[in-house]
Structure 1
């Protein structure tokens, strides 16, 4: 230690060139995979027809296929080789086969679309039920609200109770609680693209008002009052397919025509098929209702905002509002 001599450490020289690890191989493999996928996509796009490109675009815009522009089917780019048939021998058979395949595809697409629509209606029903159960102001009226999925759509029936009518006696003026129910319905229903149909019904008690105003006019006026409440709740007016009055022609309780539940407002969230039937002037299969019913009537004369409508000489079966005008259809034979 006194000499302070330096300590020299000798290390053996590395033999061979060595290497820097294998991380670069992983990066290079990822790069080659991405390039292969890129060129594969470029090749597919160059070989796809305009119709196939539109189908691809529609699929990526809406993979679930809820909108009409989207395709719910696997996109066929024609990559699977198939033996070409002898066109000289099968010239007559091939068009028939193509027509059969196209009709089968259309039926499958229609079935798939209807299944999706039913699922959406079931989700809407659940959301409406949750809305009522979570709102203390609406929970007390649960016994007056009935939900039902029919072949024409989701039917929401809001009925009179024994001592809790939805309208003023003999008029189309809404009770405040009924207006609250309609506003809550509008909040949820407007999330659906489907149009709705609103129908008013009365019980079988004769209307004791003056002139030609009766249960037909009263049921139509009340249905139209419900429409105005929904629109006031920011429901799009263009989403209302029609407003109908049925009087007592479709009772909910057929055994007791004077039961208060026969007085009701029905809101039907239409399926696309039922909506097309209405647009074509046809009657949806369940619109009149095998179990559908009615909306308020009374033995006292109409007061308040009951609208003085003139039905004419014939007692019509349906009163339909279109663009604010009450129209009458001839009765069925």
Structure 2
């Protein structure tokens, strides 16, 4: 008798593979969408907007958007606590109001003056600011001096101000002698100022003397002497004499804080990198 053996092979069900590939694919599609969106945004932005984005993502220690306690300032003056105020100082508001009145009284002439300004001046100012900030990055003690350095664009060009703070001055009290830290800052800035095409205007300012306190040095002489000292340091660091347009002292006539002219930040020396003079339109020569 023949024995027949029947083997039944029971196949186990395959394990579920899951949807991990779907997640990876979704991430890939999202990344590609973000990439093309970025390319589109870059193609739609102006040069000024690109510079602003670059400034936003610059190192925090030298960011123009940081406060006076954390980095080099940009675009406004210090307040009493060393931080940036939320509104412009009174002098800037007054200047803007005067311009508005000028446009209202003589709109044709104002538009001619606006048209005479070179279109590249704003971009050149941002480029100069970037060069100056880059020059300061190599300084090991820049974090300590960040509250004493103000870099801001103005209608005249770019201002680099060396500002006194309570407990940390840039010049010896009542003297035109600069501290070593001031000299180091100027020597770090000199190569960039030498390469830039802008001429330099240096202006010294002092704080008002409180009533009842005698003045050891005449404020006009002190402010002018400190401006001259800054010029000599820059000249000694390689800035040609032809690059200097003016060196003046304003004493205590233009405080940063008109409501409190005795504050330390009113004592400052400002180096202005002047814009190139635009050509005069022919219709204004008549």
Q: TM-score range by the shorter chain?
A: 0.5 to 0.7
1:255–1:135: structure 2 CA closer, same or farther, 3 Å change rule? same
Match of 2:214 in 1: 208
SS where residue 120 of structure 2 aligns? helix
Q: Give the superposition deviation at 1:134.
A: 4.2
| Alignment deviations for residues 57-105 of structure 1 (CA, whole Å, 9 cap, x no partner) | xxxxxxxxxxxxxxxxxxxxxxxxxxxxxxxxxxxxxxxxxxxxxxxxx
1:107–1:174: structure 2 CA closer, same or farther, 3 Å change rule? closer
Distance 2:230 2:134 in 1: 22
1:110–1:134: structure 2 CA closer, same or farther, 3 Å change rule? same
Conservation of the 8 A alpha-carbon contact between 1:152 and 1:273: no
Match of 2:254 among 245, 250, 253: 250
1:193–1:214: structure 2 CA closer, same or farther, 3 Å change rule? same
Correspondences of 1:91-102 after superposition (within 5 Å): none
Match of 2:156 in 1: 152
1:256–1:234: structure 2 CA closer, same or farther, 3 Å change rule? same
Distance 2:237 2:214 in 1: 33
| Alignment deviations for residues 219-269 of structure 1 (CA, whole Å, 9 cap, x no partner) | 001110111011011111111001010001010112221111000010000
Match of 1:54 in 2: none
Distance 1:107 1:152 in 2: 14
Match of 1:217 in 2: 221
| Alignment deviations for residues 289-332 of structure 1 (CA, whole Å, 9 cap, x no partner) | xxxxxxxxxxxxxxxxxxxxxxxxxxxxxxxxxxxxxxxxxxxx
Alignment of 1:191 onto 2:159? no
SS where residue 225 of structure 1 aligns? helix
1:126–1:199: structure 2 CA closer, same or farther, 3 Å change rule? same
Alignment of 1:117 onto 2:117? no
Alignment of 1:170 onto 2:174? yes
Match of 2:265 in 1: 261
265-274 or 154-163, larger mean C-alpha shift: 265-274
Conservation of the 8 A alpha-carbon contact between 1:133 and 1:139: no
Distance 2:215 2:263 in 1: 20
The gaps in structure 2 that reach 5 residues or longer are 1-111, 281-286
Conservation of the 8 A alpha-carbon contact between 2:136 and 2:189: no
Alignment of 1:128 onto 2:132? yes
Correspondences of 1:175-324 after superposition (within 5 Å): 175-205=179-209, 208-209=214-215, 214-273=218-277
Distance 2:180 2:138 in 1: 19
Aligned length: 166
Q: Name the one with the larger helix percent.
A: 2
Q: Give the superposition deviation at 1:118.
A: 2.2
Conservation of the 8 A alpha-carbon contact between 1:145 and 1:157: yes
The gaps in structure 1 that reach 5 residues or longer are 1-105, 277-333
TM-score after normalising by structure 2: 0.54
Q: Give the superposition deviation at 1:115.
A: 1.9
Q: Give the superposition deviation at 1:140.
A: 2.0
Instruction: Please report the RMSD computed on the Cα atoms of aligned residues, expressed in angstroms.
Output: 2.4
